[in-house]
Amino acid sequence: MTLQIEDLTKEYLMGELTVSALSGITLNIEQGQFLVILGPSGSGKTTLLNVIGGIDRPTTGKILFGTNGKSTNLVSLKERDLTKYRRLNVGFIFQFYNLVASLTAFENVELAAKLTNPSDEARKISKELLEEVGLGDKSNKFPAQLSGGEQQRVAIARALAKKPKILLADEPTGNIDSETTGKILKLLQRVNENYKVTILLVTHNVGISTLADKVIYLRDGKIFGTSKYDPAKEKEFWEELTVAPPIDTAG
């Protein structure tokens, strides 16, 4: 799987005004890469994920999705084929876990697994994935009976249930305390490794970007910089995350 993004633009029409959300993004993404997209609010991060995931369409440019020696330009796909691309290839993880409240953890994952698998296979996959995310013993709980971090782990299992080639995560730890954030990030690193799934993770958190193979810095819809993985920086990130908060003993 490869993604070749060429000179991508996205404009939104707001009455008389045109908002330029992406302007001239060119980017190559390889199978199994862990990419982090960093940038201020309004810089186009979510828009970029949405067009790569086939949720939204760019205004101009190309998104070449390469698989099995074939290359497809997502931009020229009909609605039905774009839906098919999304369904078969893309898993999404959002900031607010978006689980179905009336379904158990298991059923939430199973629902997604059934999109691309026969029923008994879907059950098997769901069970395995809930174990993978450390929730084997809580698979019959409803979202409301789970903590934020646990709900996000269910959402990760759900996103993986169709064995996507691309995992898109928009601020997946935005609502989670730092200890749980650490666990979620370790989990994403593990699934990146074990399933060779390409991950694009959007965050405001500079620390999280130390885990990435490559960091893309967005500003005003443009890439204004990239940086490569540095093991020393990742080590520092984990050390800071595990330092216990100072205890005020004075009182």
Ligand X SMILES: Nc1ncnc2c1ncn2[C@@H]1O[C@H](COP(=O)(O)OP(=O)(O)OP(=O)(O)O)[C@@H](O)[C@H]1O
Binding footprint of ligand X on the chain (CB under 6 A): 12, 14, 19, 21, 39, 41-47
CB 212, min distance to Mg ion, A: 17
For residue 54, how many C-alpha atoms fall within 13 Å in the half-sphere facing its CB? Answer: 24
d(CA 86, CA 97): 19
CB 216, min distance to ligand X, A: 12
Q: Which two tokens stand for residue 9?
A: 């633009």
- 3-class SS of residue 201: strand
CB 56, min distance to ligand X, A: 8
By beta-carbon proximity to Mg ion, the closer residue of 46 and 117 is 46
By beta-carbon proximity to ligand X, the closer residue of 133 and 208 is 208
- Contact of residue 19 among ligand X, Mg ion, none (CB under 5-8 Å per partner type): ligand X
| Strand ranges in 89-129 using DSSP code E only, listed in sequence order | 90-93
CB 47, min distance to ligand X, A: 3
Residue 129 near residue 163 (C-beta atoms within 8 A) = no
- 3-class SS of residue 168: strand
By beta-carbon proximity to ligand X, the closer residue of 57 and 87 is 57
Q: Which two tokens stand for residue 42?
A: 């309004």
- Contact of residue 143 among Mg ion, ligand X, none (CB under 5-8 Å per partner type): none
CB 176, min distance to Mg ion, A: 17
Residue 247: DSSP 8-state: P
d(CA 123, CA 40): 40
CB 67, min distance to ligand X, A: 26
Q: Applying CB under 5 A, which residues contact Mg ion?
A: 46
Residue 92 near residue 168 (C-beta atoms within 8 A) = yes
CB 102, min distance to ligand X, A: 28
By beta-carbon proximity to ligand X, the closer residue of 14 and 232 is 14
- Contact of residue 41 among ligand X, Mg ion, none (CB under 5-8 Å per partner type): ligand X
- Contact of residue 115 among Mg ion, ligand X, none (CB under 5-8 Å per partner type): none
Select from 32, 50, 73, 75 the least CA-distant residue to 169. 50
User: DSSP string covering 58-91, please?
Assistant: -SEEEEEEEETTEEEEGGG--HHHHHHHHHHHEE
By beta-carbon proximity to Mg ion, the closer residue of 212 and 218 is 218
- Contact of residue 182 among ligand X, Mg ion, none (CB under 5-8 Å per partner type): none
d(CA 106, CA 125): 10
By beta-carbon proximity to ligand X, the closer residue of 41 and 249 is 41
- 3-class SS of residue 233: helix
Residue with smallest beta-carbon separation from Mg ion: 46
By beta-carbon proximity to ligand X, the closer residue of 39 and 91 is 39
